Structure 1
Amino acid sequence: MPKLKRAANADNRGATDFIESLDRGLRVLEIFGGSRQPMTLSDLAKAADLPRATARRILFTLERAGFVATDGKLFRLMPRVLVLASSYLASNHVVSVLQPALDRLSSGAQEIASMAILDGNDVVFVARASPTRIFSAGIDIGYRLPAFCTSVGRVLLSRLSDDELVAALDRMELAPLTPFTVTDKKLLLKTIVADRAQGYSLVDREAEPGFRSVSVPVRRYDSAIVAAINMGAHVDRVSAAEMIERFLPRLRETAASVKSMLV
C-alpha cells in the first residue's frame, strides 16, 4: 500500500496553528479507507509514514474513542466513524437539496444516479439514488475516482479557466485506469474545454472497464458550478447515443430544477 502524505501547507499559517498529532490521527483513519480488510500495526505505520510507536499511540487513542477496535493483532474501523460522514452529509446544503431530486431522477429513468464533488485531484461521490430493481455494489457514498478520467470530474474541472485547468492537469498523476484512459494532457485539455462548451461530459470506459457515463454540472443561483450529477451503465446495455438521447435531457432537467434553491 502506498504511503499517505499530507500536501504542503498552502496558506502560510504559522506552525503554532498546526496540531501535528491530530493530523497524524486523521491520516491513520484515512488509511483504513484504502483497505477492505483489518490491518496490522506495522502496515498502518508504513502506510501513514509514521514510526511504529507513534502509530501505536494513535491507534490506542482511536480505540479509546470508539473509532477503532483490535483483537491484539489486527485493527479495524468501528461504526462510530460514520458519525464523521453523517455530520458532513447532514450539514451539506447541496446534498440535502439534490438528494430528493436524484431520487426522482432515478425513479423516472429507472437507472442509478449519483452526485459528486471535487476534492483535490479526485471526485468524491456524496449522494446516490437507485431504483429498487437495480443492485449495484461499486460506486457508493464516499467512493473516490481520479477527476481527469471521469465524466463528473471533467464537468467539475470545466469550471476552471483555461490557465487554471492547465495548472490543475500538471499537478495530477495521469495514470491509466483502463486501456481506454486518456492521459495526454493536451488532449485532456481540449476535451474538457469542449465539454465546458457543450455543457456535459461523456466518458466511455476510461475510469472503469466496460462502463460509460454522462454528467452535467449542478449550478447554484449565480451559475457557479458546485457539483456534478451523472448516470451510467455497462456498455453492453446502454449505447453512447442512448445516453445522449435518454439520459442527458433528464440530467439537465434535474440540475435546472435545483438551481434556484442552491445558495
Structure 2
Amino acid sequence: MSDEQPVRDHVASLERGLAVMEILAANPAGLTLTETADKAGLTRAGARRFLLTLVATGYAVQAGRNFSLSPRLLAQARIWLHGVPLWTFAEPFMRETAAKLHESCSAAILSGEDMVYVARVPGPRIIGVDLQVGAHLPAHCTAMGRVLLSGLNDADLEAFMTGAGIAQRTPRTITDRTKLVEIVKDVGRSGFAIVDEELEIGLRSIAVPLRDRSNAIVAAINVSTQTSRHTPAQMEAELLPILRQVAARISDFFVVQ
C-alpha cells in the first residue's frame, strides 16, 4: 500500500459526523444547532446536515431547538459488548499500566482453592513459574487470591480456610488459618492486598478488586514486582493509586454488561 492510500481512504465527512456524535454524547441534555456547530467547528449548514442525518437514522432525537443522542447508540454498544469477552476490553488498560510501571499486570478469578489467570501482560521475568492465561496459583498466598477471598461471606471464607490445602511456598508464607482469616478481612476493609515473598522469594505483588454493578468482587487485578524495585510502602504509595484507577476503568465494563 502506498503512502497516499490511507489519505485516499480517509472519509472526512464520516470523521466529522462521528465528532458530532461525540459532542452530543458529552452533552446529554442536548445542544442547539448553533451550539453543535460551534463545538464541532462546522458551519451551521454543515452541522444541520449531520444532525438531521443522525435524527433520520434514529441515532439522535430533536426536541424543539435541541438535539441529543437517542438510546439506539447504547443498544448497539450493548450488542457489541455482549459479543466480545470482557478481558478483550481489559487488556488495553492492563498494557497501559504495565508499560507505565515497567511491571507485569494480571487479572484473575477465584476457582476452588486457587486463583486463575484470565488476563496477563508480562513484564520483566520475575517469577520462576510460567504464568499464562489459565494458570492456577494458590489463593491463600497471592495478592489477587486474598482480594478474591475478601469477597466471600464469613461462612464461605471459613469453609475455604477449613478445607483448603494451605501449603508453605516459601519461609515467609503464612499458613496459620486463623491469621489468614484476619488478613483477608483486613484486605476487605482496606480494599487492597500486598503479598511479600510468600509465593516466591524475591517477588512482591499488590492487588485490588474488580467489582460488578452490585459492588460484588468478581475478579482481581495486580501488579507484580521484584523486591529490589519496590518496598511494600512504596507499592502502597506509588503503585496502588494507579492500580485502583485502572481497576475502576475495567470495572465499568462489568457494570455495563
Shorter-chain TM-score category? 0.5 to 0.7
Match in the other structure for 1:213: 205
Deviation at 1:188, TM superposition (A): 0.2
* 2:152 is the alignment partner of 1:156: no
CA contact (8 A) 1:106 1:113 kept: yes
CA contact (8 A) 2:211 2:217 kept: yes
Whole-angstrom distance in 1 between the partners of 2:158 and 2:171: 24
Judged with a 3 Å threshold, the aligned counterparts in structure 2 of structure 1 residues 98 and 240 are, in CA distance, closer, same or farther, namely same
CA contact (8 A) 1:107 1:130 kept: no
User: Normalising to structure 2: TM-score of the pair?
Assistant: 0.63
Residue type matched to 1:149 in 2?
C
Structure 2 residue corresponding to 1:201, chosen from 189, 193, 198: 193
User: Normalising to structure 1: TM-score of the pair?
Assistant: 0.61
Deviation at 1:119, TM superposition (A): 1.1
* 2:237 is the alignment partner of 1:254: no
* 2:181 is the alignment partner of 1:189: yes
Judged with a 3 Å threshold, the aligned counterparts in structure 2 of structure 1 residues 181 and 92 are, in CA distance, closer, same or farther, namely farther
RMSD: 1.9
Whole-angstrom distance in 1 between the partners of 2:126 and 2:167: 26
Secondary structure of residue in 1 paired with 2:115: strand
Deviation at 1:181, TM superposition (A): 0.6
CA contact (8 A) 1:200 1:215 kept: yes
Residue type matched to 2:112 in 1?
G
Match in the other structure for 1:239: 231
Secondary structure of residue in 1 paired with 2:187: helix
Secondary structure of residue in 2 paired with 1:117: strand
The count of aligned residue pairs is: 172
- The structure with the largest alpha-carbon Rg is 2
Judged with a 3 Å threshold, the aligned counterparts in structure 2 of structure 1 residues 242 and 180 are, in CA distance, closer, same or farther, namely same
Within-5 A mapping of 1:38-53: none
Structure 2 unmatched runs, 5+: 1-81
Structure 1 unmatched runs, 5+: 1-89
* 2:116 is the alignment partner of 1:124: yes
Deviations along 1:156-184, whole A, 9 cap, x unmatched?
01101122101111110111011111111
* 2:82 is the alignment partner of 1:93: no
* 2:163 is the alignment partner of 1:171: yes
Residue type matched to 1:153 in 2?
G
Deviations along 1:182-212, whole A, 9 cap, x unmatched?
1111100000000000000001111111211
